Structure 1
Amino acid sequence: MTSKHKIPHFALYGESNWIDDPEFFHIEAIESRSSDLGWKIKPHRHAQLFQILLLKSGKANIRIDDQQQNLLGSWAIMVPVGVVHSFQFAPDTDGRVITIAVPVIDDIDEATKRFIKPLLHQPSCISFNNQDSLLADLWPLIEQLEKELHRPHEGRGLMCRHLIHAILLQLARQQTISGEQNTTMSAQDQQIQSLKALIELHYKEHWSSDQYACALGMSISRLNRACKLILQQSVHDLIQSRLQLEAKRQLLYSRQTIEEIAYHLGFKDPGYFSRFFKKSTGYPPGRFRAASQQPIQ
């Protein structure tokens, strides 16, 4: 029985034991895992895994954190580490799920990593609809990765790494073509990515903006300028947004009490947490939870 204190963390969905293998990756058809579950994958997240869902055809209702979207046709869905996600697929949806261990991502060379970095840190849905030739370029890489997984050939691990890199590069290209975002990483982009990584480590400790600036070796005014230029937010806003996001996750996907969530997020006073949440969302935590307890259609 899953503890009420945690959103489920899985290695692969339904598998509670993390495979501690730095070479680990996995690829499977969407049908192979979801069809026995009524084509529905319940809310969960991965602590050490990055996932790519590739829909060749079919339909999917996806929920990532508190955002819901209906996808029809050909899509790539990027699910970074720690993001809560659930899926309801239409029967006979054709696609693949690629699961990649964090050490495999960390080992990507810096030039490649700079190019694909936006894919790794922000959930996104990348459309291939009406672009059959681009999907046709990508799909042979997917099929080759499937073959390599089941071949005991020498150099299999190295070949798989190259194929994963090529798949990520193709997806980064497609993201640019489809207008999702500009993947060129300026110095300020890199500073903001470093800030986000630090916030991920320390947001429950309620670090101040000055503490983050100090950790990055920057003045707070310079860091704020970069934040406002890239994200149209201050450092303080970014910190508050991350706390708000985790509060929403816990309210939506766990059975913790509001008091337990407050302490889990580093608030010493549950009353202050409730005021923080209402100020940032417009709703008290209890009302937000009650309004959100609806099944995904």
Structure 2
Amino acid sequence: MSDGNIPLFGLYGDSEWSEDPEFLHIEDIESRSSDLGWKIDAHRHGNLFQILILKSGDAKVQLDDKTRRLLGKWAIIVPAGCVHSFRFAPETDGKVLSIAAPLLEEVYQERAAKLIKPLLQTPTFIDLGLNTNQFNELWPIVMQIERETSIARSGRALMGEYLVKALLIMLHRYVEVSVSTNSDNHNLQLLQDLKELIEQNYLKHWSTPEYSKRLNTSEKTLNRLTKSVFNQSVKSLCHQRLFLEAKRRLIYSRKTIEEIAYDLGFIDPGYFSRFFKRLSRYTPGQFRLMNQQN
């Protein structure tokens, strides 16, 4: 299937996208997928961030170029713009939480940014079966989010936002636990420092040697760690962060594509267009137009 055929939806199967910047929706996996033969074909959301919580069952999941088969209890993070598809075994149980990207924009100015931002940027599979306490403490928050979205009460949108952020912080903790089982404390701290450095300097287009120098380690060690934990090289992590910012500015800014290119540190707007198309398979202009239409 060519990428030009990958549809852009609000929610899967819906041709219209809610313009509400506080949009928050939760539904059973069964409610949308069972009528479709438990199969959700490849698609993406321009302005929606999603969290799937699998309670039981069997699922084959594609997130961009990653494909996994998941059994039992899992959390699946689907950032805005990520191409994803699902093949669920019948009777798979779980919830799908869809959040308007603008609802999470404030995270970037909050104290919780260091905990939440990595999850907003990277497609992620989180095994909730490693520790029985993980799912047991996570699921009540999911249920509370569902209650808040189903009853008209004062402060409903604000409460939903706070609960989503609490959910993301908990998921961040589980990612840390998963990483720490495969890395010693030094390596875990090194990766955290790298993510922070990328966040501070991605607009400067630093090379891998620059990051390794600042972290007082070798390029080989740094790339080995990022590939083992994130399945990406240091260069790829930097490019993905730059790409995410480019998508945000194309969607939410009124600046021209040339102005956005310069703001993102590209000397040549033509090179910015080639960079963006290599990662999204669309030109910046095509991406902006599709998101305006949807």
TM-score for both structures, normalised by structure 2: 0.67
Tell me, in whole angstroms, the C-alpha distance in 2 between the residues paired with 1:184 and 1:18.
40
Deviates further, 109-118 or 29-38: 109-118
Residues 14-25 of structure 1 mapped to structure 2, 5 A cutoff: 14-25=13-24
Deviation string 1:207-262 (CA, Å, 9 cap, x unpaired) is xxxx735xxxxx9963574694754656599659x99xxxxxxxxxxxxxxxxxxx
1: CA distance, partners of 2:156 / 2:55? 26
Q: Which amino acid aligns with 1:21?
A: D
Cα offset, 1:57, TM superposition: 0.6
- Residue 68 of structure 1: how far off its partner (Å): 1.6
Query: Segments of 4+ in structure 1 off by > 6 A?
Result: none
Q: Which amino acid aligns with 1:48?
A: N
Amino acid paired to 2:166: A
Render the CA deviation track for 1:14-72: whole Å, top value 9, x for unaligned: 11222111111111000000000000000011111111110011110111223221100
State the partner residue of 2:205: 212
When the two chains are superposed, the root-mean-square deviation of aligned CA atoms in Å is: 3.5
Alignment correspondent of 2:250? none
2:16 paired with 1:10: no
Indicate the residue corresponding to 2:274 in structure 1.
266
Residues 208 and 234 of structure 2 are in contact (CA less than 8 Å); yes or no, is this contact kept in structure 1?
no
Q: In the aligned structure 1, how far is the partner of 2:19 from the partner of 2:213?
A: 40
Structure 1 unpaired stretches of 5+: 199-210, 214-218, 244-264, 268-272, 274-297
234 and 93 in structure 1: CA distance in 2 versus 1, 3 angstrom threshold? closer
- Checking the alignment, whether the CA contact within 8 Å between 1:116 and 1:183 is kept in structure 2 is no
Match of 1:191 among 179, 197, 209: 197
Match of 2:178 in 1: 178
Identity over aligned residues, as a percent?
42
In the TM superposition, 1:69-108 aligns within 5 A as 69-108=68-107
Distance 1:133 1:39 in 2: 29
Deviation at 1:193, TM superposition (A): 3.5
**Range with greater deviation from structure 2 (174-183 or 47-56):** 174-183
Q: Which residues of 2 match residues 25-104 of structure 1 at below 5 A?
A: 25-104=24-103
Other-structure match for 2:210: 222
1:112, distance to aligned residue in structure 2 (A): 1.0
Instruction: Provide the TM-score with structure 1 as the length reference.
Output: 0.66
Q: How many residues align?
A: 229
- Counterpart-to-counterpart distance in 1, 2:168 and 2:236: 32
Higher helix share: 2
Note if contact 2:52-2:77 (Cα within 8 Å) is conserved in structure 1: yes
The one-letter amino acid of 1:10's match is: F
